[in-house]
Structure 1
Amino acid sequence: METLINKNRADKQLGLGILILVIGSVFLLRNTGIDVPHWILSWHTIMLGAGLWMGYRKNFQGSGWLALTIIGGLFTFKAINIFDFDLFRVSIPMVLIGLGLYVILKPKKVQNFDQYFEKKPIDFTKKES
C-alpha cells in the first residue's frame, strides 16, 4: 500500500513539475520577444489540459474528464488558424467521430448478479485474538 501511495505522489510531482516547466518556458519565450500563439495560455487550453490530466489520473475511466477535454478542445481548435484554414470547421466532425469511437471501444462493465445471490458458508472456526 505504501508503494502505491509513494508512486501516486511521484506521479503528481512529475506532472506538476512538467506543468510548471511548460508554463515558465512559454513566459520566457514571450518575454524574449519570440512570437508565441495567443491560444497557448488561454482558458480553453487550460481546460483541455486539465481534462487530459484528470483522464490520465483516473486511467481514462468515467466521463468527467471527457467533457472537459471536448469543451477545451473545441475552443482551442477554434482559436488555432493554420495557413488561413479554419480548423474549427473540421473539429465538430472530429469530435463526433472520436466520441463514436469511444462509445464503441470503451471497456464494457459486465455485472454478474449471480454472485449477490450465492449463499456463502460462514467460517466459525476462526478465532479472534
Structure 2
Amino acid sequence: MNNDIETSLNPNNGKAAAGVILLVIGSVLLIRQFDFFEVPDWLFSWPMWMISWGLYMGAKYNFRKPSWILITLIGVACLLDNNIDNADRIVWPVAIMGFGVWLVLKPKKQKEEYYFGNKKETFHFDKAAEPEA
C-alpha cells in the first residue's frame, strides 16, 4: 500500500497560461494595427492588466490559491468603475461586502503534525472537505 502524498504542481501550467495570454495580446495588437474593426480603449487599460494577471496567477497554480480571485475582482471592479457612470456608488460597497462574505465562508484549514521516527511531517487538511463521523 502506497501512502505517498503528491503535492507538486505541474511547472508547465504557468508557461502555458503565459503563452496563451501573450498570444491573445499579440493577436489583438495585430488586429488593431490592420484596422479590421475598432478595438475598445478599455481593452488596454490597467484594470484589464490586473484581470489578466489574476487569471495568469490562477492558471499557474491550477486555481487552488485564492489570491487570483482577489486580483481579478479588484480589476473587474476598477474596470466597471472606469467605464460606467456613477458605478462607484454600487461597485465598491458590493466588492467590500463580497470580500466580507468570502472571509466568513472561507473554510478553515486544520494543521496536523505527525512524527515518523525522528522526522516531523506537517499536513494541512480542509475541515470542510473532511467527512462527518
Q: Which amino acid aligns with 1:28?
A: L
**Aligned residue identity for 1:99:** F
Amino acid at match of 1:92: W
Structure number with the higher helix fraction is: 1
- CA distance in 2 between partners of 1:71 and 1:77 (Å): 10
Gaps of 5+ in 2: 1-7, 119-133
Structure with greater Cα Rg:
1
Match of 1:18 among 14, 17, 20: 20
Superposition RMSD on alpha carbons, in Å? 3.0
Tell me the CA shift for residue 66 of structure 1.
5.0
Percent of aligned pairs sharing the same letter: 31
Structure with the larger RCO, 1 or 2 (CA within 8 Å, 6+ apart): 2
Structure 1: gaps (5+ residues): 124-129
Pairing 1:8–2:6 present: no
Provide the residue aligned with 1:61 in structure 2. Answer: 65
Report which of the two has the higher share of strand. 2
Query: Deviations along 1:55-93, whole A, 9 cap, x unmatched?
Result: 443444354x45533442332222223xxx544433213
In structure 2, the residue matched to 1:127 is none
1:38-57 matches, within 5 Å, as 38-57=41-60
Count of equivalent residues = 109
